[in-house]
């Protein structure tokens, strides 16, 4: 549906195929002119709001402040902060300036700051006070500034600095191939990877993602995921900005507040992942879609959502789920709305990414054939990351494989069958653990399931599974094995099933299949 406000934004949006900082500044200017008082961002915890008019002015002053400090193209600004109005204002402002914003998740990456900060070699570090970060300043040779509070004044933080700054100069660099953002994957024992994206990779992907999820100016997107990572930045920070929508920002996920926040702020789209949807189903909420008539759908990304889990969530709450798919290195790859979804699929790939399913030799496979997911928007695109010594490493040029296996159906919808590294190879035959997980989840008494391969002297690997039962269930391992035997061929049927109190998760809430396999090996 197109509204008069949508038309206003379209009239003022740049027509040129710009992919650099000028594209983002065009989004800002268009929304600020069309409806300056409309909130770009609302903090759901305290109700503070940042309007499009105020965002445009703040971003211009941040750009002016950075220019006065000599921080321009490829100049790195490190942001050490949790979700907040200030976090997003800095993020947008640095991009508007044409510099490089480096977002580092404090909690997940704290133990690696001694390596991350010198490798980044920043021109400026902005940090949230109260997180114990001040002692890290000697690790860099640049200025450290506390964020402070936007719009309050009278303090000594960064937002007090920019209040007196001159607006953006006319000489801002607009190079589309300059570095736009560097963000780090989560890491505990393993060193996190610093992914580098140019403006050409970041901004068009964000706009295409908003289109894939059907976002418009009337939408209000509820997101509590960390905005230090790619998914939230591209969909909810930049995708929202590209269409003039409103971001309802939460500090973190709360099962007790999830539906209450959606109801209070009249969210039209809420973000999620399989772990969040499972946690909501474990609660006692009696909410139904009819109670939230403004909510169009809840997204699910970060990990495959099994069809049975998908259907159970929709049956219980009467709220549609729309899947999406992507990675830090590539951005969003696919997405759908409640109207374009297809059960078992993550949606249609973004057209400009030229997604394909290929065999080991890179040959394209026909629809329905399982192979490696490969994408590439630009023939000369370099997929890069920061090395431990601070140097830039190139992982691939032109096209890159995501590490996922899957197939495209006859209508162009992408179906994921698992991670390449998670494949179980039994007697020389590849087995997708997701296929067995899906059969296990057909049993309503099972809350979670994880299938893995364990070493076997005869077949190389054997299929086993760990499951978590719902509270009060009396389901036995033998009954689960019998169900699998009825639904799967013998070589895919698990030989053992373990009943677990919980399944191990990564720091980002994803199933840690590697840890599940380690538990089986330790037991053996």
CA atoms within 13 A on the CB side of 90: 35
CB 251 within 8 A of CB 45: yes
Asked if residue 174 has pLDDT above 90, the reply is: no
Q: List every span in the chain annotated with CATH 3.40.50.12780.
A: 4-243, 253-421
Top CATH class of 253-421 equals alpha beta
**pLDDT higher for 252 or 1?**
252
Q: Rounded to 5 degrees, what are φ and ψ at 466?
A: -115, 135
Q: Is 99 exposed, middle or buried (0-12, 13-18, 19+ CB in 10 A)?
A: buried
**Predicted structure pTM score:** 0.86
Summarize the confidence of residues 233-238 as an average pLDDT: 98
Q: Give CA–CA dist 5/376, Å, rounded.
A: 34
> What is the fold, at CATH topology level, of the domain defined by 424-523?
GMP Synthetase; Chain A, domain 3 (3.30.300)
The predicted-structure confidence for 460-500, as pLDDT tens digits, reads as follows: 889 999 999 998 999 999 999 999 999 998 989 999 999 99
Q: Give CA–CA dist 2/370, Å, rounded.
A: 39
Residue 100 bridge partners (DSSP): 76
The predicted-structure confidence for 301-334, as pLDDT tens digits, reads as follows: 988 788 998 999 999 999 999 999 999 999 999 9
Residues 6+ apart with CB under 8 A from 491: 426, 427, 429, 431
Asked if residue 2 has pLDDT above 70, the reply is: no
pLDDT grade for 145, boundaries at 50, 70 and 90: very high
User: Which pair of structure tokens corresponds to residue 16?
Assistant: 């040129």
Q: Tell me what pLDDT residue 17 has.
A: 55
Q: In this structure, are strands 460-469 and 297-300 parallel, antiparallel, or unpaired?
A: unpaired
Q: What is the CATH number of domain 4-243?
A: 3.40.50.12780
Q: What is the DSSP string of 186-219?
A: --SSSPPPEEEEEHHHHHHHHHHHHHHTT--TT-
Q: List every span in the chain annotated with CATH 3.30.300.30.
A: 424-523
**pLDDT higher for 371 or 427?**
371
């Amino acid at each position: 549906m197109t509204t008069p406000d949508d038309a206003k934004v379209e009239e003022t949006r740049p027509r040129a195929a710009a992919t650099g900082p000028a594209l983002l500044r065009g989004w800002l200017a268009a929304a600020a002119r069309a409806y300056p008082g409309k909130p770009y961002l609302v903090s759901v915890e305290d109700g503070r709001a940042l309007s499009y008019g105020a965002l445009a002015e703040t971003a211009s002053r941040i750009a002016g402040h950075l220019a006065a400090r000599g921080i321009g193209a490829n100049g790195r600004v490190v942001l050490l902060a949790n979700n907040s109005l200030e976090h997003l204002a800095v993020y947008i402002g640095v991009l508007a300036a044409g510099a490089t914003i480096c977002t580092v998740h404090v909690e997940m990456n704290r133990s690696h700051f001694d390596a991350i900060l010198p490798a980044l070699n920043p021109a400026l570090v902005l940090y949230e006070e109260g997180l114990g970060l001040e002692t890290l300043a000697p690790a860099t040779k640049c200025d450290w500034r506390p964020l402070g509070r936007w719009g309050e004044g009278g303090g000594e933080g960064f937002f007090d600095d920019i209040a007196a700054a001159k607006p953006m100069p006319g000489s801002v660099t607009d190079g589309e191939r300059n570095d736009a953002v560097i963000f780090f994957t989560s890491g505990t024992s393993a060193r996190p990877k610093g992914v580098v994206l140019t403006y050409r990779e970041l901004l068009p992907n964000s706009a295409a993602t908003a289109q894939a999820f059907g976002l418009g100016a009337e939408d209000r997107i509820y997101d509590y995921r960390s905005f230090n990572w790619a998914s939230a930045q591209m969909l909810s920070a930049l995708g929202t900005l590209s269409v003039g929508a409103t971001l309802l920002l939460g500090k973190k996920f709360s099962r007790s507040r999830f539906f209450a926040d959606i109801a209070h702020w009249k969210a039209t789209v809420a973000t999620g992942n399989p772990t969040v949807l499972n946690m909501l189903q474990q609660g006692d909420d009696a909410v139904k879609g009819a109670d939230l008539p403004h909510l169009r759908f809840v997204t699910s990304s970060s990990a495959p959502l099994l069809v049975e889990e998908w259907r159970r969530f929709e049956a219980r709450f009467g709220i549609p789920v729309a899947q999406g798919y992507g990675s830090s290195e590539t951005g969003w790859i696919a997405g759908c709305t409640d109207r374009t979804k297809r059960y078992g699929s993550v949606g249609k790939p973004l057209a400009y990414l030229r997604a394909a399913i290929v065999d080991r030799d890179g040959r394209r496979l026909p629809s329905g054939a399982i192979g490696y997911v490969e994408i590439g928007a630009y023939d000369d695109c370099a997929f890069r990351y920061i090395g431990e010594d601070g140097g830039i490493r190139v992982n691939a040029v032109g096209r890159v494989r995501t590490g996922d296996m899957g197939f495209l159906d006859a209508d162009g919808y992408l179906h994921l069958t698992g991670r390449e590294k998670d494949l179980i190879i039994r007697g020389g035959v590849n087995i997708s653990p997701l296929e067995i997980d899906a059969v296990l989840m057909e049993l309503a008494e099972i809350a979670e399931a994880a299938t893995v391969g364990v070493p076997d002297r005869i077949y190389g690997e054997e299929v086993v599974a760990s499951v978590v039962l719902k509270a009060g269930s009396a389901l036995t391992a033998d009954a689960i094995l019998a169900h699998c035997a009825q639904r799967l061929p013998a070589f895919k049927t698990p030989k053992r099933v373990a009943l677990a109190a919980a399944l191990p998760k990564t720091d980002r809430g994803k199933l840690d299949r590697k840890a599940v396999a380690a538990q089986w090996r330790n037991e053996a």
